[in-house]
C-alpha cells in the first residue's frame, strides 16, 4: 500500500468508527431547522452534509483542515526557491488532515507523474470537436471520456465489497488528477494556438508542468502564479455547486470520472466558476466602451450602474456564504502587489474594490458587496499573456478537482449513502401552512 493510502486508511478507519458511535448516541439531535425561505431560495445555511477537506466561515473565509489561505501560503511545502505552495502538499493535507513534509509533497508529485499518461482516445475525442467549442465543454467531455479506464466501475462490476470502495475511488482519483494538466493544456493549445502542443516536462511539479504546457508565458513567475492559483481554488467546503454536484453524483456510486465531469458542468455556470471569465470580459468591454484603460472614478461608477440597470450582476462580487472580502481575492492581490507593478487591468481591479461595494450596498438587497475569488484571477492571467478568457474556468476546474475528489474518497471511506433530500411542491407548502394555522387555532381555542 502506498504511503498516502496507508496514512489515509488509518485516519479513515478511525473516523469511520468514531462516526458510528456518534450516530448511535447522537444521531437524533437536530443540527438546524429549515424555513420556507431556505427551501425556496437555494437551501442557504442548511447544515445537512458532511465534508472533510475544508470548512467555510462567512467572515474568515475558507480553511482547509483548519488552515487559512495565509497559513497555507507560509506552511505548505514549496519547490526549491519557490514562493508559493505546491498543490500536491494541499492534496496531502486534505486527504490526511496533517501538513505534509516536503518529502511527502514530492511523493505525491512523483506519483502523479507516473500516472499522467493520457489515452489516445481522449485526444481523438477532443479532435472530433470544433475548436471553438467552449473550453469547459471540452474539459468536461475529456474527463468523461477517461471513464473507460475506471477502476471503481470495473471492480464494482466484479462485485467488490463496500469496504473496498474507497481504495478503488482513490486509484481513479489519483489517475484522474495526474492527467488533468495534460488534458487541460491540450484544450488550451488546440483552441487558441493552432494545435501547437507543448510536451510535458517531467522534471517539473504538477502546477509548474501545467504552466509549462500552457506555454503562454516564459516568465518563471507564471509557474509560481499557477501554484498559487491551483492551491486557492481547490476547495470551498461541500455546499458550493461544483463540490455538491460532484458529491451528489458520487453518492450514486458513479465513479470519479462521472462525478468530476458533473462538478465541472456546475462550475461552468456564470454565477459560479464562469464568473472568472465574465469579470475580464466585463472589464475589457468597459475599456472598449470608455476608450481608456485608466477610467475616472465617475466613469467606473457609471459603467457599474449601467450594468445593474440592464438587469445584470456585477461579476466577481457577492457570495452565497461569505460576508467579507474573500481571502482568496486578498491572496491574489498580495501576489500582484509583490510581483506585478503598474498593470492597468490589475489597477482597475483594485479600484473596483473601493467603488463596487458601496453601489451594491445601496441596492439594499445584496448580502455581500465584497469581491470573491473570481474578481482578481483574470487580471493576473492577462498580465502573463493569457488573454483567452473563455479558458479561465478550466484552470479553476483543474484546481477544484483536488478538493472534490479528496472529499469523494472520504465519502466512500466513511460509507456515505445515496444523497436524497426531500422536495415539496408549492401547493404542498401552502397546504402545510393551512394545516399549521388550523392546528394553532385549535390549540388556542382549547
Ligand atoms: N451584482 C448585482 N446583484 C447582485 C450581486 C452582484 N454581484 N450579488 C448579489 N446580487 C443580487 C442577487 O442577484 C439577488 O437579487 P434578486 O433578489 O433580485 O434575485 C440579491 O442581490 C440577493 O442576493 P444574495 O443573497 O446577496 O446572493 P446569492 O446568495 O443569491 O448569490 C452569487 C450569490 C454569487 C450568485 C451572487 O452574489 C452573484 O450573482 N454574484 C456575481 C457572480 C459571481 O461573481 N459569481 C462567483 C461566485 C464565486 C464562485 O462561485 O466562483
Q: Is residue 423 part of a domain?
A: no
What percentage of the chain has pLDDT greater than the value 90? 99
Q: Are 344 and 294 in contact (CB under 8 A)?
A: yes
**Domain co-membership, 68 together with 181:** no
Residue 410 maps to a domain = no
368 lines ligand 1 (CB under 6 A): yes
| 106 and 22 within one domain | yes
Catalytic residue of the set 233, 236, 272, 376: 272
Give yes or no: residues 245 and 98 share one domain: no
Alpha-carbon distance of 265 to 279, in angstroms, equals: 19
Where in 45-174 does DSSP place strands (E)? 54-57, 61-64, 67-68
Cα separation, 399 vs 206, in Å, equals 11
**Considering the entire predicted model, what is its pTM?**
0.97
Pocket flag, ligand 1, residue 367 (CB < 6 Å): yes
Ligand 1 pocket member 58 (CB < 6 A): no
How many CA atoms within 13 Å lie on the side-chain side of 421? Answer: 11
Share the mean pLDDT of the chain. 98
**Are 106 and 117 within one domain?**
no
Select from 250, 269, 288 the last residue of a domain.
269
Mind listing the pLDDT tens digit for each residue in 368-423? 999 999 999 999 999 999 999 999 999 999 999 999 999 999 999 999 999 999 99
Distance between CA atoms of residues 376 and 378, nearest Å? 6
Residue 341 has pLDDT above 90, yes or no: no
pLDDT at 218: 86
Q: CA 84 to CA 107: how far, in whole Å?
A: 18
Taking the CA atoms of 304, 305, 306 and 310 in sequence, report the sign of the dihedral they define: positive
Active site residue 233: no
Pocket of ligand 1 contains residue 320 by CB under 6 Å:
yes
Residue finishing a domain among 62, 85, 110: 110
The rounded Cα 336 to chain-centroid distance in angstroms is 21
d(CA 380, CA 336): 7
> pLDDT tens, 13-44?
999 999 999 999 999 999 999 999 999 999 99
pLDDT 10s digits, 122-155: 999 999 999 999 999 999 999 999 999 999 999 9
Residue 62: phi and psi, rounded to 5, are -75, 145
What is the spatial distance between Cα 194 and Cα 100, in angstroms, rounded to a whole number? 40
Atom 48 of ligand 1, nearest CA residue = 272
- Is residue 221 within 8 A of residue 390, CB to CB? The reply is no
Question: In this structure, are 186 and 152 located in the same domain?
Answer: yes
Residue 445 maps to a domain: no
Determine if ligand 1 sits within 6 Å of the CB of residue 244. Answer: no
Q: Count the domains in the chain.
A: 3
For residue 351, being part of any structural domain is answered with yes
Strand order across the 67-68 sheet: 54-57, 61-64, 67-68
Asked if 291 and 223 sit in the same domain, the reply is no
Specify the DSSP class assigned to residue 63. E
What would you report as the CA-atom Rg of the chain, rounded to the nearest whole angstrom? 23
- Residue 162 within any structural domain of the chain: yes
CB 273 less than 6 A from any atom of ligand 1: yes
Q: Which residue has the cell 453524483?
A: 249
Identify the domain boundary among 389, 422, 438: 389
396 part of a folded domain: no
Name residue, grid cell 477517461.
Answer: 146
Structural contact between residues 9 and 1, judged by C-beta atoms closer than 8 angstroms:
yes
- Over pLDDT 70: what percentage of the chain? 100
Q: Is the same domain home to 241 and 117? A: yes
Whether the per-residue pLDDT at 164 is higher than 90: the answer is: yes
Is residue 116 domain-shared with residue 261, that is, in the same domain?
yes
My answer on whether 350 and 380 are in the same domain is yes
Own/partner long-range contacts of 73-78 (Cβ < 8 Å, ≥24 apart): 73/228, 73/231, 73/331, 75/99, 76/100, 76/105, 76/231, 77/101, 77/102, 77/104, 77/105, 77/106, 78/227
Among 282, 420, 431, 268, smallest CA distance to 345 is for: 282
pLDDT given for residue 446 in this prediction: 84
* pLDDT digits 0-9 by tens, 100-110: 999 999 999 99
Same domain for 193 and 138: yes
Whether the CB-CB separation of 20 and 419 falls below 8 Å is answered with no
CATH classification of the domain holding 256: 1.10.580.10
Query: Are 210 and 255 in the same domain?
Result: yes
269-310: per-residue pLDDT in tens?
999 999 999 999 999 999 999 999 999 999 999 999 999 999
Rounded to whole angstroms, the Cα distance separating 135 from 185 reads 10
Query: Pick from 204, 265, 205, 267: which is nearest to 235 by CA?
Result: 267
Q: What is the mean pLDDT of residues 38-51?
A: 97
244 labelled catalytic: no
Q: Which residues contact 126 (CB under 8 A, 6 or more apart)?
A: 138, 141, 142, 186, 187, 190
Q: In whole angstroms, what is the distance from residue 129 CA to residue 303 CA? A: 37
Q: How far apart are CA 110 and CA 105, in angstroms?
A: 9
| Spatial separation of the C-alpha atoms in residues 346 and 364, rounded to whole Å | 28
pLDDT at 143: 99
- Alpha carbon distance 392, 32 (integer Å): 37
Note whether 180 and 262 are same-domain residues: yes
Q: Which of 38, 318, 363, 400 to mutate to test the pocket of ligand 1 (most atoms within 8 A of CB)?
A: 318
DSSP string, 383-420: HTT---GGGHHHHHHHHHHHHHHHHHHHHHHTT-----
- Domain contains 53: yes
Domain that holds residue 339: 275-389
* Protein residue whose Cα sits closest to atom 16 of ligand 1: 365
DSSP label at 164? G
Residue 247 appears among annotated catalytic residues? no
In a domain, 436, yes or no: no
We report the CATH number of the domain holding residue 314 as 1.10.230.10
Residue 66: its pLDDT value, please?
98
Amino acid at each position: 500500500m502506498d504511503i498516502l493510502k496507508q496514512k489515509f486508511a488509518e485516519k479513515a478507519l478511525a473516523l469511520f468508527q468514531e462516526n458510528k458511535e456518534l450516530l448511535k448516541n447522537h444521531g437524533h439531535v437536530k443540527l438546524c431547522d429549515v424555513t420556507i425561505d431556505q427551501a425556496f431560495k437555494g437551501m442557504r445555511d442548511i447544515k445537512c452534509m458532511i465534508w472533510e477537506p475544508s470548512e467555510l466561515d462567512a467572515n474568515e473565509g475558507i480553511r482547509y483542515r483548519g488552515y487559512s489561505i495565509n497559513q497555507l501560503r507560509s506552511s505548505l511545502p514549496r519547490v526549491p526557491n519557490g514562493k508559493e505552495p505546491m498543490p500536491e502538499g494541499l492534496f496531502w493535507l486534505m486527504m490526511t488532515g496533517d501538513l505534509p513534509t516536503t518529502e511527502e509533497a514530492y511523493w505525491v508529485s512523483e506519483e502523479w507523474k507516473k500516472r499522467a499518461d493520457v489515452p489516445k482516445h481522449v485526444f481523438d475525442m477532443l479532435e472530433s470537436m470544433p475548436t471553438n467549442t467552449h473550453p469547459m465543454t471540452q474539459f468536461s467531455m475529456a474527463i468523461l471520456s477517461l471513464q473507460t479506464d475506471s477502476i471503481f466501475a470495473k471492480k464494482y462490476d466484479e462485485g467488490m465489497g463496500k469496504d473496498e470502495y474507497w481504495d478503488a475511488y482513490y486509484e481513479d482519483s489519483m489517475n484522474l488528477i495526474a492527467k488533468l494538466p495534460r488534458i487541460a493544456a491540450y484544450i488550451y493549445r488546440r483552441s487558441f494556438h493552432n494545435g501547437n502542443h507543448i510536451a510535458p516536462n517531467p522534471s517539473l511539479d504538477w502546477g509548474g508542468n501545467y504552466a509549462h504546457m500552457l506555454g503562454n508565458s516564459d516568465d518563471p513567475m507564471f509557474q509560481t502564479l499557477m501554484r498559487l492559483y491551483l492551491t486557492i481554488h481547490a476547495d470551498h467546503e461541500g455546499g458550493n455547486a461544483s463540490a455538491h454536484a460532484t458529491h451528489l453524483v458520487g453518492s450514486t456510486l458513479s465513479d470519479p470520472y462521472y462525478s468530476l465531469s458533473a462538478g465541472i458542468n456546475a462550475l461552468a455556470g456564470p454565477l459560479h466558476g464562469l464568473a472568472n471569465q465574465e469579470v475580464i470580459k466585463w472589464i475589457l468591454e468597459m475599456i472598449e466602451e470608455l476608450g481608456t484603460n485608466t477610467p475616472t472614478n465617475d466613469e467606473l461608477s457609471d459603467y457599474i450602474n449601467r450594468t445593474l440597470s440592464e438587469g445584470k450582476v456585477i461579476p466577481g462580487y457577492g457570495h452565497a456564504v461569505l460576508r467579507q472580502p474573500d481571502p482568496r481575492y486578498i491572496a491574489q492581490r498580495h501576489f500582484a502587489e509583490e510581483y506585478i507593478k503598474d498593470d492597468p487591468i490589475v489597477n482597475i481591479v483594485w479600484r473596483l474594490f473601493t467603488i463596487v461595494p458601496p453601489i451594491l450596498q445601496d441596492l439594499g438587497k445584496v448580502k455581500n458587496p465584497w469581491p470573491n475569488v473570481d474578481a482578481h484571477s483574470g487580471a493576473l492571467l492577462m498580465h502573463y499573456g493569457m488573454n483567452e478568457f473563455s479558458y479561465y474556468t478550466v484552470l479553476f476546474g483543474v484546481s477544484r478537482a483536488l478538493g472534490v475528489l479528496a472529499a469523494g474518497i472520504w465519502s466512500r471511506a466513511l460509507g456515505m449513502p445515496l444523497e436524497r433530500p426531500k422536495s415539496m411542491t408549492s401547493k404542498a407548502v401552502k397546504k402545510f401552512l393551512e394545516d399549521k394555522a388550523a392546528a394553532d387555532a385549535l390549540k388556542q381555542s382549547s
